[in-house]
Amino acid sequence: MNKRNFTFIFSLILLNLILCVKVNTASTQEYILTNDDVDHSPKNIMVGSYFGGRSHLKPMLDVAAVLDERGHNIILITSGNYTPSSEYPTVKQVSFGPPVDIKKLKNVKNIIHKEFDFTRFTFMYDLALKTYNDTFVKYKNAAIENNVDLFLCHAMMNDACLDAAHALNKPVVGFLSYLNAIDLKTYKSDPMFRCNISLENESFLERFKCTVIQPLRMLNLVYNNSKKLNDLRNKMGVEQVFMSAMRLAKNSLVLIDSFFGFELPQTVPPNVQEIGPVLAKEYPPLTPELSDFINAHKRVLYVAFGTRFFTTTENNSKLLRSFIEAINRNMVDGVVWALSQTQKEDFNPTLTLSDGSQVQTSLILNNEHPHIHIAKFAPQFAVLNHTNTKLFFSHGGAGSTHESLFTGTPMLVLPLGGDQMGNAQKLELAGMALSANKMSLDVDDILNKIDFLLKDENVKKNSERMKFLARIGSKRKHRAADLIEYILYRNNLDKGSNKELREWIPASTRMGFIRGNNYDVYGAILGIALGLVGGILWFIIKSIRFVVKKISPPSNQKPKKE
């Protein structure tokens, strides 16, 4: 080994020793670790819903379940006894009293049996006004007795909940299942206005109707009810407001149980957060009877129209007849129908099929048909999640829609009222559903749509795409819990002063309509532009007059005689 090689090898050994010393020195240093823990000091959170059924209550309770796991105390206030111990064993419930029997409500048939629009909500406003004082007092007393730190209120027809939080100076988080109710856009509408969800391809007259005429009609309806409600607020010592949703949107966090891909794209204010679809951590399994039936049938049609909605005897009979025909034509080999509000007397006793044969309805409703299973209640998610369930025939409620999207089950939708018509249109735009009209229900139309939905390859692809998006979105209920905890933490820092959420609420809401939209600036620019144009025109006119005057002979000069 020559001297040069020896020197090179020695240098490498020395360098290695130096690096080892540095690594060992670094390993003995105490690095600062990140810690993502936040303050989970127990708080009392009230979940409140007045009109909402399971579709509205369950998503709020599923978010509340995350907060419960973090040590917070959840108090539910609603009608009836909603919380079975198997679902939410640690939730304390305060009841308004017996649940409302929707079939016994006056004028309810105007909603279910007739063409639906926003004017059909009048009877619900009336009911909310009649019970406002009692509901407000129950919310307020329950909050005081349970030392509630925050209200989580479903914002539909639930002014008493929002007002109780405001009166007690407690932070309130609003909860809704769709965006249109809180953040209207000029390129969107709603079938409740007799308009399509998207106005992108509509004519000028249709857009004028949907963005001007129908909202003004709605505003008139809301104004009349708002006056009555503010009279009640005065008696209860609550600050007046034109619409509770306006106060909510300007001062509070609003959680929307929806997600991108399902909602039409739009920008939203920072305090409005899409956190859906909210689903439970786990769902009840199939009953042994249902499991045996579905396992024995490879192409199952599942039918359910929610726990609060029903249709006419004629429509019920058409539906049942279409299911029998679908089985006879080998479109499906099994049908599971979860009847809730529908009773045996809500069907015609005899059905006449297309081949002229007759079937006794009572035999099918008593489960004597080998390929039709009738149940009062079915564990819906478990049914939809089964590989043999190929199609879901639904009313299009928020809960049913989200479960169908999550499981990637194509849908045939029969909207009966409320937000169901909008959900049906959004599902059709997503390419995984078709809808039927309750006012012109037709057996052949139902069969054609069932056949299309089961065979079309694009429907299958779109169902898988929406399934992927729904599963991504379903993780955001933990974000919803995080945001609620931030409101609690912030309120604690502010010593309960319930200050405006300036880190979320855009400045435009405090600046007013004109300043917030810079209309005064645009007006000034327009004024300057018009002034310049006017000045230029004035100068041009004056110049023309001057030139004309110079080249024209004086009007009083007489022409010379020859």
The answer to which of 136-150, 155-169, 396-410, 503-517 has the lowest mean pLDDT is 503-517
Q: What is the mean pLDDT of residues 157-163?
A: 90
Q: What is the mean pLDDT of residues 164-170?
A: 91
Could you give the CA distance from residue 10 to residue 19 in angstroms, rounded to a whole number?
14
**Tens digit of each residue's pLDDT (9 = 90 or more) over 354-386:** 888 999 999 999 999 999 999 988 999 999 999
Could you give the CA distance from residue 58 to residue 301 in angstroms, rounded to a whole number?
25
Could you give the CA distance from residue 245 to residue 140 in angstroms, rounded to a whole number?
19
Residue 29 banded pLDDT, cuts 50, 70, 90: low
- Quick check: do 44-186+238-280+478-511 and 288-471 share a fold? yes
Phi/psi at 152 (5° precision): -115, 100
Mean pLDDT of the chain: 85
Check if the beta carbon of residue 136 is closer than 8 Å to that of residue 237.
no
Is this prediction's pTM over 0.75? yes
* Terminal CA-CA length for the chain: 133
Domain assignments of the chain as residue spans, ordered by start: 44-186+238-280+478-511, 288-471, 513-543
Check if the beta carbon of residue 422 is closer than 8 Å to that of residue 298.
no
Q: Which residues contact 135 (CB under 8 A, 6 or more apart)?
A: 50, 96, 128, 160
Look at 484 and 552; give whichever has higher pLDDT.
484
pLDDT at 103: 56
Could you give the CA distance from residue 311 to residue 346 in angstroms, rounded to a whole number?
9
Residue 200 banded pLDDT, cuts 50, 70, 90: very high
Look at 558 and 442; give whichever has higher pLDDT.
442
Quote the strand ranges of 334-410, DSSP E. 334-338, 350-352, 358-360, 372-375, 389-394
Position of tokens 């820092």?
493
pLDDT at 452: 97
Q: Provide DSSP, 58-101.
A: HHHHHHHHHHHHTT-EEEEEESS----TTT-TT-EEEE-SSPP-
Q: What is the mean pLDDT of residues 77-88?
A: 72
Look at 37 and 222; give whichever has higher pLDDT.
222
- The third-level CATH classification (topology) of the domain covering 44-186+238-280+478-511 is Rossmann fold (3.40.50)
**Tens digit of each residue's pLDDT (9 = 90 or more) over 488-503:** 988 877 765 556 677 8
Could you give the CA distance from residue 62 to residue 478 in angstroms, rounded to a whole number?
10
pLDDT at 20: 56
**Tens digit of each residue's pLDDT (9 = 90 or more) over 239-257:** 888 887 777 877 789 999 9
- The third-level CATH classification (topology) of the domain covering 288-471 is Rossmann fold (3.40.50)
Q: What is the mean pLDDT of residues 528-552?
A: 88
pLDDT at 295: 97
Q: What is the mean pLDDT of residues 79-95?
A: 76
**Tens digit of each residue's pLDDT (9 = 90 or more) over 251-284:** 789 999 999 889 988 888 888 999 999 999 889 9
pLDDT at 530: 93
pLDDT at 163: 92
pLDDT at 26: 47
Taking each helix axis from N to C end, the angle separating 132-145 and 159-167, rounded to the nearest 10 degrees, works out to: 50
Could you give the CA distance from residue 62 to residue 476 in angstroms, rounded to a whole number?
11
pLDDT at 562: 47
